[in-house]
Amino acid sequence: NAGVMQNPRHLVRRRGQEARLRCSPMKGHSHVYWYRQLPEEGLKFMVYLQKENIIDESGMPKERFSAEFPKEGPSILRIQQVVRGDSAAYFCASSPHGNSPLHFGNGTRLTVT
Amino acid sequence: ILNVEQSPQSLHVQEGDSTNFTCSFPSSNFYALHWYRWETAKSPEALFVMTLNGDEKKKGRISATLNTKEGYSYLYIKGSQPEDSATYLCAFEGNTPLVFGKGTRLSVIA
């Protein structure tokens, strides 16, 4: 039973480009969470999705960031017109129901040059 | 803004020592307190999910206690081994998605 799969592991983008981060949850999990880890900071909640629905996006920056979890395929976190401050590790986690407990992917490290 | 605090930030112990660290969290709107273990170059792995005041959970040499009235949880490691070296995260579950502390980074020296 494969765990949470995130790709790519590392992503380098120039300022102004778009970044697309993918997350395939564990089989049977319909709840997906995205967290961001900035340097020297803890995991900060960004968005919580269920299939085709955004449940809570209170941690998402208002501009340039969007997330989706379509009926088929992985969840996508999309960052448009990236800036240097977007450089961070982005972690996806899934669960079969609600919060308990979360199963994390290995993260995508985004570097904006 | 929910505040989840962990202390100490980092800890160095000798192999065989027992150790403990603290997580403090809001005592209102409490649903559960999670502990995760995060090894370098891996992803966080769930250790415990605790819901009841006074609860104590154990997994091998690692155990945790919970006080929801005063808003703290302790994680204990008995007889630390080098493979226990990791960052230990706690996370508060209320009526929002999990709010994580910054973690305690444990290094066990052989």
Query: pLDDT value at position B98?
Result: 92
Q: Which residues contact B63 (CB under 8 A, 6 or more apart)?
A: B56, B57, B75, B76, B78
- Give me the residue from B44, B97, B103 closest to A99, CB to CB: B97
A48/B97 CB distance under 8 A: yes
Residue A21 near residue A47 (C-beta atoms within 8 A) = no
> Residue A87's pLDDT band (boundaries 50, 70, 90)?
very high
pLDDT at residue B22 is higher than 60: yes
Between strands B19-24 and B5-7, the pairing is antiparallel
**CA B35, A87, A3, A78 torsion-angle sign:** positive
> Residue A76's pLDDT band (boundaries 50, 70, 90)?
very high
Query: pLDDT value at position B43?
Result: 92
Sheet of strand A5-7: strand arrangement: A5-7, A19-24, A75-79, A65-68
> Residue B66's pLDDT band (boundaries 50, 70, 90)?
very high
Find chain B residues with C-beta within 8 A of A100's C-beta.
32, 34, 49, 93
A100/B34 CB distance under 8 A: yes
pLDDT at residue B87 is higher than 90: yes
Element (H, E) at B104: strand B104-109
> Mean pLDDT throughout A100-113?
94
Find chain B residues with C-beta within 8 A of A58's C-beta.
96
Terminal alpha carbon distance of chain A: 37
Amino acid at the residue B77: I
A42/B34 CB distance under 8 A: no
B98/A102 CB distance under 8 A: yes
Show the tokens assigned to B10: 């980092």
Query: pLDDT value at position A99?
Result: 62
Find chain A residues with C-beta within 8 A of B31's C-beta.
99
Q: How many CB pairs under 8 A join A and B?
A: 54
pLDDT at residue A91 is higher than 80: yes
Residue-wise pLDDT tens digits, A17-45: 999 999 999 998 999 999 999 877 889 99
